[in-house]
Structures are given as structure tokens and as C-alpha cells.
Structure 1
Amino acid sequence: MKYLIPVLAFILLHGCTSSANKENGEELFKTVMHIHDEAMAQMGEIQLLKKQLSDYSAKVLDGEVEAGQEVFKTIGQLQSKLEQADDMMMDWMHNFDTKWNEKAEQEGIAYLKQEEKRIREVKKAMDESIAAAQQFLQDSNQDHE
């Protein structure tokens, strides 16, 4: 009988910790998916900017817009950054383990923390490449108005 109370206390505490870890895992998963959803919403913008950069390049080639040869290098770099961001997103989605919750609790939480870091890097690459392309196109349009 004197061991019953400590054993029950251990079981209750372990159960509470287990439940808290599960909730923590679910919250982490929601955070990861929220960042993913924000990044996915930018995929169309990436495609649009790649097309706008190609169109601008064609206008320079056709002589519709005056620009030096360095503009082609800049456009190529911007398109490459947009493509890299797109590829990072595709790779992240392809490699994300949707069965993270079948792992041991601590392993699942560690996995989600790692994935949160990775998807934040993807989002940052997308944000930066989009901003750079938009700035270039805006500056180019102002130069030729």
C-alpha cells in the first residue's frame, strides 16, 4: 500500500507529460504547416516573375527597351534565385514525413523542430528572390517610362 501512491503519482505524471508532448507536437505541426501554406501562396508569384523577367529580356533583345548587356546577367541571376526557391519548396514538400506523429514522441518533436527550421529557410529564400525580382522590374520600368 505504501508503494501504491508513488506508483499512481508516477503514472499520472507520465500520462500528463505524454499528453503535453503530443499537444506540443500538434502545435509544432500547425506552425510548420502555417509557414508552408504562406510559402505555397507565393508559388504563383514566382512563376509570374519568371515570366515577366523573360518578357523583359525579350524586349531588350528586340530593341524595344534600351539596356546594357549586364541586364542579361542580372536577369539570369534573378531567374536562377526564383528557380532555386521554387526547387527548395518542392524538395521540402517531397521530403516532409507526414507520418511524423508515428515516431516516438521526442523524436517526432525533434523532427518537427528541424522541419520548422527548414521551411523557414525555404520561405526566406522565396521572400528574398521575389523581392529582388520585383525591385529589378520596378526599377527597369521606371528607367524606361
Structure 2
Amino acid sequence: MKNKITVIATALILIFGACKTEPKANDIKKEVLNIHDKLMIDGEKVIKNRMALDSVLKSEQIKSTQDSLHVADLIIRLNKADENMMDWMHFFKDDFKGKDEQEDLEYYKTQMIKIRAVEDSYIKVTKESDSVLKTYNIKPADKMEMTHHKH
């Protein structure tokens, strides 16, 4: 009886253990590339908002030094978000091949973390720049596609 229970328990562990699979490197790579494609579109909004804020900064609409500094800082942050995207693209290896599937998986997991950080900075700086543009009665660039991915 004990032996039968041990066999059944072992079989169940093997069955349920087999069901819990790690994602495949290609699946993560595909999601990384999907986020990249979305961010390429969102990057246009980052650039348009930066240009609009630059126009505000050069205009006579800003009444205080504090507001000027805030807009200038926002322009710097929009530039930085765009630069971070360009840096990520420059160093990303679409054709990465490690020694084995595990090394491929680790590479693409790392890239997922990096591209998510770029995505988060785009979302934050775009929301803030939209808000500032509205205070100057300037319509922000077309809305970013703010779909949320699992982090």
C-alpha cells in the first residue's frame, strides 16, 4: 500500500512538474520585439511633445523662472527617454545565440527588463509632458497606445 501511494505521488509530481514550464527564449524575444515596435510608435509622441515644449520654452507664455526650469527639465527627460531607446536598440542583438537554450532565455529575459524600463520612462515622461502642454493650451501629440504588459 505504501509503495502504491509512493508511485502515485511520484507520478503526480512528475505530471504537475512537467506542466510548469519555463517560457521559451523565442517567446520572450517575440514579446521584446513587440514592445520595441510599440515604442517606436510611442517615440514619435515623445519627439513631438519635446518639440512642442521647446516652442513653449522659447515663447513668452512662461511667466516664471520656476516654470521655465520645469519645462527645460521635462525636455531633458524626454530627450533622455529617447536616447535610452536608441541605446537599447544599438546594443540589442536580435540574432543572439548562446551556448544553449538557457543562455538564450537569460539574454532575452535581461532584454525584457531593459525594454520595460524604457517603456516605463516613456509612459511617465509622456504623461507629464501632456499635462504641462495642456496647461499652456497646447494639444499634446496623438495619444500613445498605453497597453499594459505583464511586468
User: Shorter chain as normaliser: what TM range?
Assistant: 0.7 to 0.9
Give the secondary structure class of the aligned counterpart of 1:141.
coil
In the alignment, is the contact (CA less than 8 A) between 2:57 and 2:68 conserved in 1?
yes
- The Cα of 1:67 is off from its aligned counterpart by 1.3
% identical equivalent positions: 24
Q: Which has the larger radius of gyration?
A: 1
Code of the aligned partner of 1:41:
I
TM-score with structure 1 setting the length: 0.75
Which residue does the alignment assign to 2:95? 99
In the alignment, is the contact (CA less than 8 A) between 2:49 and 2:130 conserved in 1?
yes
Counting helix residues as a fraction of each chain, which structure ranks higher? 1
Please list the CA deviations of residues 21-74 of structure 1 after superposition, one character each: whole Å capped at 9, or x if unmatched.
8x81111111111111111111111111111011111222xxxx2511112101
- The Cα of 1:88 is off from its aligned counterpart by 0.6
Aligned mates of 1:26, 1:105 — CA distance in 2: 9
TM-score with structure 2 setting the length: 0.72
Moved more, 23-32 or 90-99: 23-32
Which residue does the alignment assign to 1:130? 126
1:139 is the counterpart of 2:135: yes
Which residue does the alignment assign to 1:27? 27
Task: Give the paired residue count.
Answer: 119
Aligned mates of 1:120, 1:71 — CA distance in 2: 30
Runs of at least 5 residues in structure 2 that lack an aligned partner in the other structure: 1-17, 139-151
2:70 is matched with which residue: 62, 65, 74? 74
In the alignment, is the contact (CA less than 8 A) between 2:62 and 2:68 conserved in 1?
no
1:116 is the counterpart of 2:112: yes
After superposing on structure 2, the runs of 4+ consecutive aligned residues of structure 1 that deviate more than 2 Å are none
Code of the aligned partner of 1:24:
K
Pair 55,24 (structure 1): closer, same or farther in 2 beyond 3 Å: same
Runs of at least 5 residues in structure 1 that lack an aligned partner in the other structure: 1-16
Output the aligned Cα RMSD.
2.0
Aligned mates of 2:41, 2:98 — CA distance in 1: 28
